[in-house]
Chains A and B, each alone.
Chain A
């Protein structure tokens, strides 16, 4: 088709469509508007829902991380509680009478300090923490009172469990802090009854110590205990190279059997005996499991709640979008049908002067599709804007790029033209099938 050189005019169907649109702007504008609202509604809702999903997912990730941290904290707490209640296993010399131990509160038969290293280096994996201790009740001459003097050196590394250890064979999270060289830790009752504060100097058996810490009340023998480095205790108590117990914390795994632990220790130290607190092992594992379950239940309940909220939002959005799409379709249908009615005589004359059905169809379908295209682009942009502004939380996690995906853009761009095409099809076909003879014979 040639173009008019003077005016640049092209005589074709688009000229008819264009001129008619300019002539009847209001219909075009309302048609476009209805489609823009439908498109923007769809695009906006999809973005908001997606932002919501991202936010919810991130919320779960955060919650789970929080839960894990809480579990770790809980585990620490339990370990400390366990220690305060008594250790899982106490390794004693074979000569030690258990009733005497229960009566005195400390053992009177002794192991070599070397024994604890034998266990540590044996490759045993059922024990995590080994705490050699030399503990006796003494009369503290300098302060004129009875105390439990406890020599400790912190944990002896269990080499077969390198996961717990740093490169220097120190514990990453020690179950009990070492008492530093030249210092002493005091139980609450000792400190309070003698009015001793951290930083003060005390003398025990002629040895001077600086008070490092005072523990808070536990309601056990610990309140009457003074902890000092093991070597100092050995010299004060006159038992060089000796200890009278190894406190061993069993593995955190609830499935491990105490019998197994006993057998293994017996093999390493035939002269030793193992005194157990089996009920505590079970209780500890049980409490731990229960706490984990509780937390998980809370998390799942939260998830279920969030999912339900999401479902409700999705349902609402679906209803809304269906209404908008139905509304826009009906409006386009009415608009084009009315347009066909108004332009009946135009259709009649065009057909009379040789326009084919297909050309008439193009005039009306072209108009609806043009409305759809204009609405598709502007509705898509509007929907993105509204959606992104609306979904603040989702946006803060992933940025606008994560909300606006290619399929979303394609859906948004195609919705209005397809909708307009579908809604305009029937009236356009009606227009194309009008009999020009009927129209032109009307007087």
Chain B
């Protein structure tokens, strides 16, 4: 684990709690009083067994799931004080997501998939297009620019997903099991690109049960039954 000090904190998750109620009988405490901060240029990982609450934490931190308690700050922005529409808008321009299942749009080619966030943020422009092509080039996908996701390998798909996450120049990248479907080599490539993003000043919150991650993270947390250890 590398230790670096950062002046600017991009993301603060403060005392968030989330319990799922399935019916009236049982309540699952998915996340219990978690506080975590991610600075600019920092890659923070949260590892733990399946079901310990990682995804729930990530969705709350990413502005997609309202916590039962606690707050999430993106820069100065108190995410859950915003209206849902404002939160959508902030997500569109300030946050990138990468998931285990890639979630590419099957009927659009690589370039279009990378550019999809510009539709959501209404920000498509020549420079957005240029940036998309740069990312495609950087992630070694230039030969695949017109291909559909079905024609790609899983490693390529995850790189497309990563390019999509970065096309709007977000401040924070959220990654949920980004290597879950990848072999060692491909996992390494994707992790390298994610670290590069952090190295260029981005904040990354990465949750995974994959032990291979740890050496890339500046800070690592262990999660168990909804709580952070250490």
Binding site for B on A (CB under 8 A): 1-2, 4-5, 9-13, 15-16, 19-20, 22-24, 345-346, 348-357, 359, 436-437, 440-441, 443
Contacts and interface: CB of A to CB of B under 8 A. Distances in A.
Interface in B61-102: 62, 64-65, 84-85, 88-93, 95-97, 99-101
A443 B99 CA distance: 10
A437 B59 contact: yes
B222 to A, nearest CB: 20
A352 B92 CA distance: 8
A365 to B, nearest CB: 16
A13 B62 contact: no
Given A437-B59, A443-B50, 10 more contacts: A11-B115, A346-B103, A350-B116, A350-B120, A353-B97, A356-B88, A440-B103, A441-B55, A441-B56, A441-B65
Contact of B89 (A2, A24, A354, A437): A354
Contacts of B129: 4, 9
Nearest to B165: A353
A23 B59 contact: no
Interface string B43-64: 0000000100001100100101
A19 B115 CA distance: 14
A354 B112 contact: no
B108 interface: yes
B126 A1 contact: no
Contacts of A20: 107
Contacts, number: 106
Nearest to A359: B120
B105 A353 contact: no
List the 10 closest A-B pairs by CB distance, nearest first. Answer: A354-B92, A23-B107, A349-B103, A11-B124, A354-B120, A437-B65, A355-B120, A354-B91, A356-B88, A19-B107
A443 B209 CA distance: 13
Contacts of A348: 103
B126 A4 contact: yes
B65 to A, nearest CB: 4
A1 B117 contact: no
A19 B110 CA distance: 13
Nearest to A342: B106
B112 A355 contact: no
A356 B85 contact: yes
Contact of B91 (A23, A345, A352, A357): A352
Given A345-B101, A440-B59, A353 B106 contact: no
B93 A354 contact: yes
Contacts of B128: 11
Contacts of B116: 11, 16, 350, 353
A9 B110 CA distance: 13
Contact of A352 (B62, B84, B107, B121): B62
B136 to A, nearest CB: 14
B125 interface: yes
Contact of A11 (B64, B85, B99, B118): B118
A346 B105 contact: yes
Nearest to A348: B103
A12 B123 CA distance: 10
B91 A353 contact: yes
Interface in B121-135: 121-122, 124-126, 128-129
